[in-house]
A and B are shown apart, each in its own frame.
Chain A
Amino acid sequence: EPEVTQTPSHQVTQMGQEVILRCVPISNHLYFYWYRQILGQKVEFLVSFYNNEISEKSEIFDDQFSVERPDGSNFTLKIRSTKLEDSAMYFCASSEALPDEKLFFGSGTQLSVL
């Protein structure tokens, strides 16, 4: 069964450093998303991406965040200067088509900012 894959599974970084989280969405999906979940809290929407551009973003997704689809398969989330409060599980997701929004989530990257 096709799945969304994310690497790395764990990332530890120092505050102020840049991190790049990587995702390979399901191959025939057209919409890509990043969500995050701080330990014990809700899953929160960060950004959606379609046709090589951001389609929606939340208030969390400020200038420190960026997304990119550098080739035909990868989808990345970059955090330019990490803060302690960026520590969370980051989930990549993809969906075949709107308006169904049936999201398939990757297994996540646990980001720890020290």
Chain B
Amino acid sequence: QKEVEQNSGPLSVPEGAIASLNCTYSDRGSQSFFWYRQYSGKSPELIMFIYSNGDKEDGRFTAQLNKASQYVSLLIRDSQPSDSATYLCAVEDSARQLTFGSGTQLTVLP
């Protein structure tokens, strides 16, 4: 069974700090990796996607992918209280289905 694992948290960081969110996956055939943000009671919102090994930066967000280690991470620089949410890692497997992790709850303290 394909698994996507995340630390459930909660992860608390002070405002302005870097938040680091981690995700591992079991299916070596996975090709595409996504980070979604979900506020409580709301739908997931895509914030980053990455397909190739290495880093991808978009504003305050950096996604990192290491396919050999089956590991993907999300860094949030200069964290803001509005970043407080649950961050979902999602992996597209070889069957082109998205499998979501259980999410990491992030709290940014003012």
Residues of chain A having any CB pair with chain B under 8 Å: 41-45, 48, 55-56, 58, 91, 98-108
Contact of A56 among B42, B46, B97, B103 (CB under 8 A): B97
With A and B bound together, what is the CA distance between A105 and B32 in angstroms? 18
Find out whether the CB atom of A105 lies under 8 angstroms from the CB atom of B45.
Answer: yes
With A and B bound together, what is the CA distance between A20 and B71 in angstroms? 39
Find out whether the CB atom of A45 lies under 8 angstroms from the CB atom of B34.
Answer: no
8 Å CB contacts to A: which residues of B60-110?
88, 90, 92, 95-103
Contact of A103 among B31, B98, B99, B101 (CB under 8 A): B98
Contact of B102 among A41, A55, A105 (CB under 8 A): A41
Interface centre among B31, B42, B46, B95 (most CB of A within 10 A): B46
- B99 proximity list for chain A (CB < 8 A): 45
